């Protein structure tokens, strides 16, 4: 089967380790299921894997990809929940110390087939196309949990979304607007700021610009480049929810502001299967659909990765085998 795999890792030249080639079809262990992938989406996570972050070198070659929607051997249309945990774990699976995301320990979704634990299959609503559904399990689920589980935001509150063009950020803008929040977004790029407003942001600003009012929460995935602005933009008692650090993980903590204004900094990672089901119900109920920037054939995966690395994306990149 055709697959896009990580065969070597380089922090400077991540694409040098990407191989799009035939691989053996996966075996299906007891309790697992095969999904014939109809659509898979790219995430920044796949670039981190090629850079050597989060994927151990002794696991190579590894099929990349966290997200997929497809059809099981017995004909069910499904979305794949990307978090694989200990089968004996109970409760919030994002807190399972043994959890991993597809393509870290188990072969990923950028392939004609992927094999996952049967409990990771979630029925795909008929209202969503395979391409739309394939955007949900990582970026959209992460944004959903940040906004609705971790932030404490209530309808009518103000939220700032940093780095408007990103996969998580576009999801957060659209979901926040659908939930009745006042949405500010930032981007380095003027065209992306205009698109953020089309997507649902009430106003979009240059990265680092002063906002018209302080916000109740910030959705932060950019990291070092925007952290200081995120801290300064919060009202006293506000919440900074962070799930990524694309521009670097070690900003100034701004401790004086943190304690004096009684800010809360909350980490967030992926989401639960239940949150994925809630997210899909929200999409069906509101008509909200993931923003797909481009659909490419799996054979042209390298072009998608190049766009992701260049930051030249607005929404999600989808690959179809
Ligand atoms: N913890 C989790 O469960 C989880 C899940 C999903 C993603 N993540 C992490 O979250 C981050 C974003 O993921 P993604 O898939 O949404 O990535 P992405 O689509 O590549 O988006 C990254 C965005 O960050 C902004 N950005 C990048 N470098 C910047 C800089 N130097 N200064 C200002 N802005 C910058 C860009 O926005 P503009 O061009 O608009 O400025 C870009 O669109 C990644 O680090 C990823 O690993 C974590």
Ligand 1 pocket test, candidate residues 65, 147, 168, 267, most atoms within 8 A of CB = 168
Burial 30-43 (b: 16+ CB within 10 A, else e): eebbbbebbbbbbb
Q: Which two tokens stand for residue 179?
A: 């939930």
Block mean pLDDT (10 aa), the chain, length 321:
98 97 97 98 97 96 98 98 96 96 98 98 98 98 98 98 94 97 97 97 98 98 98 98 96 96 98 98 97 97 96 93 96
The number of residues in the chain equals 321
Other beta carbons less than 10 A from residue 184's beta carbon = 26
pLDDT at residue 311, rounded to an integer:
87
Kindly give, in sequence order, each residue whose CB lies less than 8 Å from that of residue 91, ignoring residues fewer than 6 positions away: none
The answer to whether 25 and 3 are in contact (CB under 8 A) is no
Query: SS3 of 255, please?
Result: helix
Residue nearest to atom 18 of ligand 1 (CA): 166
- Torsion (CA) 97, 98, 100, 106 in degrees, nearest 10: 170
From atom 34 of ligand 1, which residue's Cα is the shortest distance away? 163
Atom 2, ligand 1: residue with shortest CA distance: 269
Chain mean pLDDT for the chain: 97
109 with 65: CB under 8 angstroms? Answer: yes
State the pTM of this model: 0.97
CA distance 58 to 89: 26
How far apart are alpha carbons 259 and 11 in whole angstroms?
36
Residue minimizing CA distance to atom 29 of ligand 1:
247
63 CA from centroid of ligand 1 (Å):
22
Q: Specify the pLDDT at position 312.
A: 85
**C-beta separation of 130 from 35 below 8 A:** no
How much distance in Å is there from the Cα of 53 to the middle of ligand 1? Answer: 15
Per the CB < 8 A criterion, the answer to whether 9 and 51 are in contact is yes
Atom of ligand 1 nearest to the CA of 101: 3
pLDDT of residue 45: 96
Which residue ranges have their beta carbon within 6 Å of ligand 1? 43-45, 48, 138-139, 142, 163-169, 187-189, 192, 207, 221-222, 225-226, 243-247, 269-270, 308, 311, 313
């Amino acid at each position: 089967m055709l697959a896009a795999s990580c065969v070597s890792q380089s922090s400077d030249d991540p694409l040098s380790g990407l191989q799009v080639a035939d691989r053996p079809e996966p075996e299906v262990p007891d309790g697992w299921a095969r999904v014939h992938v109809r659509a898979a989406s790219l995430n920044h996570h796949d670039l981190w894997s090629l850079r050597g972050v989060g994927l151990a070198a002794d696991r190579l070659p590894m099929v990349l990809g966290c997200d997929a929607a497809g059809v099981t051997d017995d004909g069910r249309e499904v979305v794949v929940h990307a978090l694989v945990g200990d089968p004996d774990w109970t409760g919030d699976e994002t807190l399972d110390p043994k959890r991993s995301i597809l393509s870290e320990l188990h072969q990923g979704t950028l392939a004609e087939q992927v094999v996952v634990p049967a409990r990771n299959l979630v029925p795909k609503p008929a209202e969503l196309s395979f391409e739309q559904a394939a955007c949900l399990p990582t970026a959209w689920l992460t944004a959903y949990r940040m906004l609705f589980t971790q932030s404490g935001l209530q309808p009518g509150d103000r939220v700032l979304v940093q780095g408007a063009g990103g996969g998580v950020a576009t999801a957060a803008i659209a979901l926040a607007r659908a939930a009745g929040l006042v949405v500010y977004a930032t981007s380095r790029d003027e065209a992306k700021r205009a698109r953020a407003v089309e997507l649902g942001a009430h106003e979009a600003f240059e990265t680092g610009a002063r906002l018209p009012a302080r916000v109740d929460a910030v959705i932060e995935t950019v990291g070092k480049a925007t952290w200081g602005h995120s801290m300064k933009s919060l009202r006293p008692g506000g919440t900074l929810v962070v799930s990524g650090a694309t521009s670097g993980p070690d900003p100034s903590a701004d401790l004086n502001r943190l304690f004096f204004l009684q800010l809360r900094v909350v980490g967030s990672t992926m989401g639960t299967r239940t949150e994925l089901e809630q997210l899909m119900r929200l999409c069906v109920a509101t008509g909200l659909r993931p923003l797909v920037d481009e659909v490419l054939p799996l054979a042209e995966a390298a072009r998608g990765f190049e766009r992701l690395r260049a930051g030249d994306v607005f929404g999600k990149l989808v690959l179809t085998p």
